[in-house]
Amino acid sequence: MVQRYVNVLQLVIVSLQVCGDVVAQQQELLCETDDLKILYSSCGHYDDTFSLKIEPCSLQVSKWHLGIFWIPNGDITVLHAEVGIWHETHESLKFKVTLCQDEDDEYDFCGALKGETINTTSRASSSLPRYPKGNYTIILKVFSGHHKELILCMNYTLALLNDASPKEEILQNNNSRTFL
């Protein structure tokens, strides 16, 4: 029985070596205040092409401004996003949303081609229900096209230092239309 697990482990190690180097991504600081610390890393090779800015970096307010800079490595005609949220080790929320459908799209970035620069601002607001302090992990995956090619994967860690957190965020673009 032990030999079976050793063989499986060897197979995994060989597979990782054949598929390429596996390097853990170092997390970078997005923002930090007395009540909140947000770290991020790429879960792929997208860290040079995507950045997010949040102002103010606090859960003591109910409205935020988000700055998004992105150079997509795929055309944005059909765009899907998946978001998973974990508190400590338990998955607490997972959802999928279609942002661009290749016709009558609401968002300015829909239709952007591979390599074009997307530089936009959005607003987020919340009624601020209470969440226990601790670490929350948010995984954002963005897929392009009908075949859902992964073009962005980001990992955010929110360290809530006090018992407060937004629950339902409504993101809006500059024209006050629903974003997510």
Domain boundaries 29-172, corresponding CATH code: 2.60.40.770
More confident residue, 152 or 46: 152
pLDDT of 164 reads: 57
Asked if residue 33 lies in contact with residue 57, where contact means CB atoms within 8 angstroms, the answer is yes
Do the strands 63-70 and 50-55 form a parallel or antiparallel pair, or are they unpaired? antiparallel
Spatial contact of 73 and 151, defined as CB atoms under 8 Å apart: yes
Q: Is the CA virtual torsion 126, 130, 134, 137 positive or negative?
A: negative
Task: Tell me if 100 sits within 8 A of 79, measured CB to CB.
Answer: yes
Residue 18 has pLDDT above 50, yes or no: no
Q: Give the pLDDT confidence of 120-172 residue by residue, as tens digits.
A: 888 888 765 667 789 999 999 999 988 889 999 999 999 998 765 444 443 44
Peptide bond connecting 56 to the previous residue in cis, omega within 30 degrees of 0: yes
- Mean pLDDT in residue range 78-85: 94
Spell out the residues 6+ positions from residue 116 whose beta carbon is closer than 8 angstroms to its own. 71, 72
Q: Yes or no: say if 151 and 75 are a contact pair by the CB < 8 Å rule.
A: no
